[in-house]
């Protein structure tokens, strides 16, 4: 008998889409429940598009987009956003780079002006470049070099799993490459990738659609038209044999391990991909999940275990090739081989015996809550919809996700689990080099 399901509710955020003459795609999603707006501009370029010898360049360039633009001095962007009561940031991903603000809604036109101005052209100077190379090096020291488990596994696992430079290289970049970057490189990168035809603008929250449309035409309408570059083919074949490696982290006090398996193409085979998103949660969401119950609570073989889709934890904003990842931290002297064997055993059990009554429904209900919670933030909607527009031409998919997750069947989850075989797995072990 089927377990009674909690109905997973959906959101109904309205979606307006249009394209300006210069090719800029626009998504508007009004919601007047709070006097705030989210503004996001997403460019279709990320870590995978960096040229060889320029590791970390997409991220460095993201920093340069904040260093002044056609009509704005250095520091002006920050001051104008914050001086309007807003917050801002940008981030660099495998397949895209985003720039965004959350603001009180009386600052809509100002935010559009700021984004349009840097879309026309950032001020790329030697002085700003050197300054931001220094800042990025400190960012890498904070997040990678001066802490235990830095870059684990998002920077350390891709080179095990992938063979091409695009997919395997360190997206933060080597200090050598960062220091060799030139203003000419940056100008070239901008001309090539930061084209109006390669960008999506999304505005969410307390807006009037007609007014926002007019303001967008006014500020972005005369951004020079440049077409999107041809996107290279980043595909790689699946693994034919297990790959396993290890490294010593001189700061880490305890062992850790991460494993990854390739999954179906998230864009062209979304229906085939979704069961893996659900599977990761069946395996690791909370004390009642398969691997937490087994590895943490029963065997005490690990201290913590997590599972997710995408090296940057980005299930709905990454393209192929991508992966399902599992990662675990072990107690002192923990046995990584045994942990991997137990994971295989649990995957086998899931694939052959299926799920317990209600197990799938409760996992889906929890996923529904997480998805809804993310969309409550006005910026979350703008960012998500911008990327969904860019990668799928389907920003309204955001409203559908809780339902689609809820429609994944037990058979699909079992079938997904059955594909996570050791011979398709890439894994990496952290050997603790830091004792206190």
Partner 1 sequence: MSARSEPGLPAPQSRTKKGQMTATVEPKPRTLPPLGPNRKLKLPKQAERTLANGLTVIAVRRPAVPLVELRLWVPFGRAHLARGVMLAQTLLSGTPAMTSVQIAAELQKVGGGLAAGIDPDRLMLSGTSLVTGLDRMLEILAAVLTSASYPKDEVGTERDRLVDRIQVAQSQPAHLAREALLKRVYGRHPYAIQTPEPEQVRAVRPAALRSLHGERVHPAGAVLVLVGDVQPERALDAAEKALGDWTGGGREVDLPPAPPLEPGPLLLVDRPGSVQSSLRVALPAVPRTHPDHAALQLANLIFGGYFSSRWVENIREDKGYTYGPHSLVEHSVAGSVLVAAAEVATEVTGPALLETTYELGRLASVPPKEEELEQARQYALGTLQLGMSTQAGLAALTSAYAGNGLRLDFLAEHAARLAKATVTDVAEAAARYLAPARAVTVVLGDAERIAPSLAALTAVETTSVSAATES
Site for partner 1 in 225-244 (CB under 8 A): none
Q: Are the C-beta atoms of residues 433 and 247 closer than 8 Å to each other?
A: no
- Least Å distance, CB 166 to partner 1, is 26
- Single out the residue of 18, 19, 135, 313 in contact with partner 1 (rule: CB under 8 A): 135
Interface size with partner 1, residues (CB under 8 A): 102
- The residue behind tokens 């998919």 is 397
- Nearer to partner 1 among residue 134 and residue 163 (C-beta): 134
The C-alpha angle 10, 201, 132, rounded to 5 degrees, equals: 115
Q: Are the C-beta atoms of residues 385 and 317 closer than 8 Å to each other?
A: no
Q: Are the C-beta atoms of residues 284 and 326 closer than 8 Å to each other?
A: yes
68 binds partner 1 (CB under 8 A): yes
- Least Å distance, CB 84 to partner 1, is 6
**304: nearest Cα among 286, 288, 317, 281:** 286
Tokens read off for 161: 């799993």
Give the integer Cα–Cα distance in Å for 166 and 236: 10
Query: Which of the residues 287 through 326 are near partner 1 (CB under 8 A)?
Result: 287-288, 293, 296-297, 300, 303-304
Query: Which of the residues 3 through 22 are near partner 1 (CB under 8 A)?
Result: 6-9, 11
- Nearer to partner 1 among residue 239 and residue 367 (C-beta): 367
Binding mask 356-395 for partner 1 (x = CB under 8 A): --x--xxx-xx-xx--xx-xxxx-----------------
- Nearer to partner 1 among residue 166 and residue 254 (C-beta): 254
For residue 177, cis peptide bond before it (omega within 30 degrees of 0) = no
- Nearer to partner 1 among residue 321 and residue 406 (C-beta): 406
- Least Å distance, CB 350 to partner 1, is 16
**102: nearest Cα among 93, 91, 111, 94:** 111
221 binds partner 1 (CB under 8 A): no
Query: Which of the residues 319 through 358 are near partner 1 (CB under 8 A)?
Result: 329, 331-332, 358
213 binds partner 1 (CB under 8 A): no
Q: Are the C-beta atoms of residues 319 and 166 closer than 8 Å to each other?
A: no
- Least Å distance, CB 321 to partner 1, is 30
- Nearer to partner 1 among residue 145 and residue 404 (C-beta): 145
Q: Are the C-beta atoms of residues 254 and 334 closer than 8 Å to each other?
A: yes
Binding mask 242-261 for partner 1 (x = CB under 8 A): --------xxxxx-------
Distance of CA 98 to the CA centre of its chain: 10
Query: Which of the residues 153 through 182 are near partner 1 (CB under 8 A)?
Result: none
- Nearer to partner 1 among residue 108 and residue 385 (C-beta): 108
**Helix (H, G, I), strand (E, B), or coil: what is residue 248?**
strand
- Single out the residue of 26, 41, 103, 160 in contact with partner 1 (rule: CB under 8 A): 103
- Nearer to partner 1 among residue 184 and residue 240 (C-beta): 184
Stretch touching partner 1 by CB under 8 A, among 121-129, 195-203, 231-239, 418-426: 121-129
Q: How is the chain split among helix, strand and coil, in percent rounded to 5?
A: 45, 20, 40
Give the integer Cα–Cα distance in Å for 160 and 344: 19
- Nearer to partner 1 among residue 134 and residue 345 (C-beta): 134
87 binds partner 1 (CB under 8 A): yes
- Single out the residue of 23, 30, 148, 354 in contact with partner 1 (rule: CB under 8 A): 148
Q: What is the DSSP letter of 382?
A: H
Q: Are the C-beta atoms of residues 28 and 203 closer than 8 Å to each other?
A: yes
Tokens read off for 9: 């509710």
- Nearer to partner 1 among residue 7 and residue 341 (C-beta): 7
Stretch touching partner 1 by CB under 8 A, among 52-60, 84-92, 164-172, 310-318: 84-92
Tokens read off for 262: 């390739």
Beta partners for residue 19, in sequence order: 25
Task: Write the burial class of residue 32 (CB in 10 Å: 0-12 exposed, 13-18 middle, 19+ buried).
Answer: exposed
Sign of CA dihedral 290, 294, 295, 300: positive
Stretch touching partner 1 by CB under 8 A, among 54-62, 141-149, 258-266, 346-354: 141-149
- Nearer to partner 1 among residue 206 and residue 320 (C-beta): 206
């Amino acid at each position: 008998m089927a377990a009674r399901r909690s109905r997973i509710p959906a959101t109904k955020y309205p979606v307006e889409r249009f394209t300006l003459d210069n090719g800029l795609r626009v998504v508007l999603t009004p919601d007047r429940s709070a006097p705030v707006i989210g503004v996001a501009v997403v460019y279709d370029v990320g870590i995978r598009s960096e040229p060889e010898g320029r590791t970390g360049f997409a991220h460095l360039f993201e920093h340069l987009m904040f260093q002044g633009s056609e009509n704005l001095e250095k520091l002006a962007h920050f001051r104008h956003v914050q001086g309007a009561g807003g917050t801002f940031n940008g981030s660099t991903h495998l397949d895209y780079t985003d720039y965004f603000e959350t603001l009180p809604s009386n600052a809509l036109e100002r935010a559009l002006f700021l984004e349009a101005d840097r879309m026309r052209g950032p001020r790329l100077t030697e002085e700003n470049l050197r300054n931001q190379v220094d800042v990025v090096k400190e960012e890498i020291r904070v997040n990678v070099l001066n802490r235990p488990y830095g870059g684990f596994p998002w920077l350390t696992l891709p080179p095990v799993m992938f063979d091409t430079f695009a997919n395997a290289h360190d997206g933060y970049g080597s200090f050598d490459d960062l220091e060799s970057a030139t203003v000419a490189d940056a100008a070239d990168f901008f001309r090539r990738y930061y084209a109006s035809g390669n960008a999506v603008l999304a505005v969410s929250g307390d807006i009037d659609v007609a007014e926002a449309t007019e303001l967008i035409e006014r500020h972005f309408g005369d951004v020079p038209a440049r077409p999107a570059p041809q996107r290279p083919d980043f595909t790689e074949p699946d693994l034919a044999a297990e790959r396993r490696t290890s490294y010593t982290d001189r700061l880490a006090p305890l062992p850790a391990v991460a494993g990854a398996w390739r999954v179906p193409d998230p864009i062209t085979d979304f229906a085939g991909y979704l069961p893996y998103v659900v599977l990761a949660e069946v395996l690791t969401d909370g004390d009642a999940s398969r691997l937490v119950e087994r590895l943490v609570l029963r065997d005490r073989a690990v201290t913590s275990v997590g599972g997710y889709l995408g090296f940057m934890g980005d299930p709905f904003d990454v393209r192929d090739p991508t992966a399902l990842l599992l990662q675990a931290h072990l107690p002192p002297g923990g046995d990584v081989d045994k942990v991997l064997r137990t994971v295989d055993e649990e995957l086998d059990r899931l694939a052959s015996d299926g799920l317990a009554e209600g197990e799938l429904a409760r996992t889906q209900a929890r996923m529904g809550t997480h998805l809804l919670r993310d969309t409550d933030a006005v910026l979350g909607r703008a960012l998500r919809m911008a990327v969904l527009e860019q990668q799928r031409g389907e920003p309204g998919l955001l409203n559908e996700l809780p339902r689609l997750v809820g429609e994944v069947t037990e058979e699909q989850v079992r079938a997904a689990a059955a594909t996570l075989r050791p011979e398709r797995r890439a894994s990496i072990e952290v050997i603790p080099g830091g004792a206190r």
